[in-house]
Amino acid sequence: MDTRIGIIGTGSMGRMLIRSFLRGGAAVPQQLCASNRTPEAQNAIAAETGIQTADNNRTLVKDAGVIILCVRQPDVVPAMEEIKDLLTDDKLLISIASDVPLSELEALTSARVVRVIPSVTSEQLKGVSLIVFSERTTKADRERVISLFGAIGTPAIISEQDIESYTTLTSCAPAFFAEMIHEFAVSASRMTGIPADEAEALSRETFIGTAALLEIPGTACTDIVSRVATPGGITEEGVNVLTCRFPAVCDEIFAATGRKHATFRNASSENTNTEGN
């Protein structure tokens, strides 16, 4: 089995995956090769990590057994068109585009195809990578992908029909959690006069500590709530506000992201049909 991994696109997610694969022991620098439209970007990550670079996407695909497509969604079809004759059935293609389905990818290649939605938390070897396997993939393919992404977090194998809601729950969630912490700190400053920088620093440390508690096996979110919010106490008053108002906010998050997924999905389908014509 060809152990070389080619990464097309060295934007933020491409760079994160390269660093994480190396840090998590999923690969060594000699196994990784990157290409990018901007040579400076690929050369920078190569200088930082010691990986190889390719002059262009076609050279990269020729020399790799696994190709990870880390380009923006509008660039998926153009990138595939450039290399589709090289993506033969002995290649494994992994796409991280959140709204380009397997059917559209498979229409452009005879390679075995996998969709993976990683999370920025993989930078710390934490969090979840969502994985959708196509029927073309082999047992060896599945084991390899699970091993690769299992080294940088928790792999979760899901059905493609669930990918949008699961993406909101995992890949999008770090931004939501960070924004919640920020707004909580801003409110503390606004309502109590605590200096803004101090409020955010204290909120961050408390959030990190809470996450550490949740890592203890068998600990549920409700366990922490019950430990801190004693009946009739001060914390319970705040929890009551959350249980009353926060569910509607969460519902709207899933509704809003669902609408945006639909917009991107329709745009991707239109692009594929245009390229096909």
Residues annotated in the binding site for NADPH, as ranges? 57
Rounded to whole angstroms, the Cα distance separating 126 from 128 reads: 7
List phi, psi (to 5°) of 156: -125, 115
- The annotation places the binding site for NADP(+) at 8-13
Separation of alpha carbons 23 and 79, rounded Å: 28
Burial of 253 per CB tally in 10 Å (0-12, 13-18, 19+): middle
Torsional sign, CA 119, 57, 133, 261: positive
DSSP characters over the chain: ----EEEE--SHHHHHHHHHHHHTTS--GGGEEEE-SSHHHHHHHHHHH--EE-SSHHHHHHH-SEEEE-S-GGGHHHHHHHHTTT--TT-EEEE--TT--HHHHHTT-SSEEEEEE--GGGGGT-SEEEEEE-TT--HHHHHHHHHHHHTTSEEEE--GGGHHHHHHHTTSHHHHHHHHHHHHHHHHHHHH---HHHHHHHHHHHHHHHHHHHTSTT--HHHHHHHHS-TTSHHHHHHHHHHHHHHHHHHHHHHHHHHHHHHHHHHHHHHHHHHH-
Q: What residue numbers does the annotated binding site cover?
A: 8-13, 57
